[in-house]
Amino acid sequence: MTYPQPPWTLKGDAFVSLQLLDAARVRPLIPSELNIVSVLPGKTVGGVYLSKYSSGSVLEYSELIIIAGFLSYKGKFGGWVSHIYVDNPNSVAGGREVWGLPKELAQFAWTEHSVTVSQADKLLCKLNYNRQSFGLPLKLSASAFSCKDSNLLIFPAFAQSSFGLVSAKLEIPTTSPFADLNISQPTILTIHSDRLNLVVDGPTIVGQTESI
């Protein structure tokens, strides 16, 4: 497989659905060295990120990311990607070999008001949405932790887009690999990112970990 070196510039649009997750549910998926940040007793913030990167991107593909919690480590903060799916094998290779992300291939079906993600004819999730009527132009940044070999990594992402709140409903069947996270519970909010310009930088080693 061939893939570009970081940073990756990705352009398209995306949806982000934020939820409160039980810290006890997500703890087995996260290296013990990382601290789960509680926003309420026993609760952390996670969610679902669905995107479609098109013309102008270093690679064109769709992506589903499950964020299983908000974490801290030695003064650094970021999310934890427990599951991630794309429909481009070069993206799988780059994600695994550069960022240590557990990328897998899946199929994405986009319509005007929904996106369905499946793998080997098994439904992973479906998001039904109404597109925003207006958005606010913003520049945002966030970081995520990952693990490659015995190294704990962190990497930043920088987004410039028109962000707006949307009405959406997330459906995750009980047979989905991430159903146990109960991530389809009522959402805090769902955001649509229109004309997204996303830059994902390379990772930095921040520590060592045992396998999870």
Q: Give me the average pLDDT of each 10-residue run along the chain (212 residues).
A: 94 96 96 96 96 98 98 98 98 98 98 96 95 86 96 98 93 96 86 96 96 58
pLDDT at residue 191, rounded to an integer? 94
Residue 10: phi, psi to the nearest 5? Answer: -130, 130
Establish if 109 belongs to a structural domain: yes
Establish if 139 belongs to a structural domain: yes
Peptide bond before residue 173 is cis, with ω within 30 degrees of 0? no
pLDDT at residue 145, rounded to an integer? 98
pLDDT at residue 212, rounded to an integer? 57
Establish if 59 belongs to a structural domain: yes
pLDDT at residue 85, rounded to an integer? 98
pLDDT at residue 210, rounded to an integer? 82
Residue reference for tokens 């994600």: 95
Establish if 46 belongs to a structural domain: yes
DSSP β-ladder status, 151-165 and 136-148: antiparallel
Establish if 3 belongs to a structural domain: no
Looking at residue 62, which CATH number applies to its domain? Answer: 2.40.400.10
Establish if 2 belongs to a structural domain: no
Kindly list the distances between the CA atom of residue 137 and the CA atoms of 133, 134, 156, 160, 195, in Å, as whole numbers in the listed order. Answer: 13, 10, 20, 7, 10
Kindly list the distances between the CA atom of residue 118 and the CA atoms of 2, 38, 63, in Å, as whole numbers in the listed order. Answer: 24, 31, 12
Rounded CA separation 85/91 (Å):
9
- Total tally of structural domains belonging to the chain: 1
Rounded CA separation 174/154 (Å):
31
Rounded CA separation 67/51 (Å):
14
Q: In one letter, which amino acid is 123?
A: L
DSSP β-ladder status, 103-105 and 76-86: parallel
> Could you tell me the residue range of the domain that residue 55 belongs to?
8-208
Establish if 87 belongs to a structural domain: yes
Non-local (6+) Cβ contacts of 27 within 8 A are 36
